[in-house]
Amino acid sequence: MKITQVAGFLGCGKTTLMLRLSRELAGADRKIALVVNEIGEIPVDGKVIEESGMRVKDIGGGCICCEVASTFAKTVYGLYKDFNPDHVLVEPTGVAVPHQVKMAARMSGRDAKIIMGPAIVLFDATRPGELLDMDMLGQLVTTQVKDADVVAISKVDAVDESQLETTTDKIRELNASAEILRLSSFTGLGLKRIQEIILQWKG
């Protein structure tokens, strides 16, 4: 059971990507579960998703990387015991810190056989200034980017090439080792690569 998180600041496109990804991954005879922390801009309709054979767990009441970390660990263990999916895709809240989410997921791993998948961090291409402004969100978003195994610059359909290059350079300065890719969940750009990364990740 591989646990992959789709993280990133509020509104960066996590749910939109998770829903597309889960459909693509499930297509090839794999069992998929989704864990969503908090209802965001696009609600996850668990019922509809479960009808397509996946399992969905909602966790509220706080952030899975801190306040409700133990609930998260128990949820992951419950999924392992009752459903035993090949992949668990996790959407933390927009303010979660990826390495703390990994730590919380590992707490379930004493009894469940888990492989830690990549921390995919989305960075919203339409508002780089605001996200990296150190007087505003910069501290948090910078930490998220530094923590990423993969940075997906999201919503690239909505910005031009020169803006994208500037944003990519800034991300590279923050994280020299992560793979940086361009994502549009609307056009499908980057989806295949993300799928490949998840499937091939060795933990």
Ligand X SMILES: Nc1nc2c(ncn2[C@@H]2O[C@H](COP(=O)(O)OP(=O)(O)OP(=O)(O)O)[C@@H](O)[C@H]2O)c(=O)[nH]1
Residue 188 binds ligand X, judged by CB under 6 A? no
Q: Which of residues 7-36 bind ligand X (CB under 6 A)?
A: 10-16
Q: Which of residues 32-71 bind Mg ion (CB under 5 A)?
A: 40
How far does the chain reach from its first CA to its final CA, in angstroms?
Answer: 11
Stretch of 64-72, 78-86, 129-137, 182-190 contacting ligand X, by CB under 6 A: 182-190
Burial annotation 87-122 (CB, 10 A radius, 16+ → b, else e): bbbbbbbbbbbbebbbebbeebbeebebebbbbbbb
CB of 129 to Mg ion, least distance (A): 22
CB of 148 to Mg ion, least distance (A): 17
Stretch of 4-12, 59-67, 111-119, 166-174 contacting ligand X, by CB under 6 A: 4-12
Residue 128 binds ligand X, judged by CB under 6 A? no
Check: CB of residue 121 under 8 Å from CB of residue 144. Answer: yes
What's the half-sphere exposure (Cβ side, CA atoms, 13 Å) at 146? Answer: 10
Residue 57 binds ligand X, judged by CB under 6 A? no
Residue 15 binds Mg ion, judged by CB under 5 A? yes
Residue 199: other Cβ atoms inside 10 A:
15
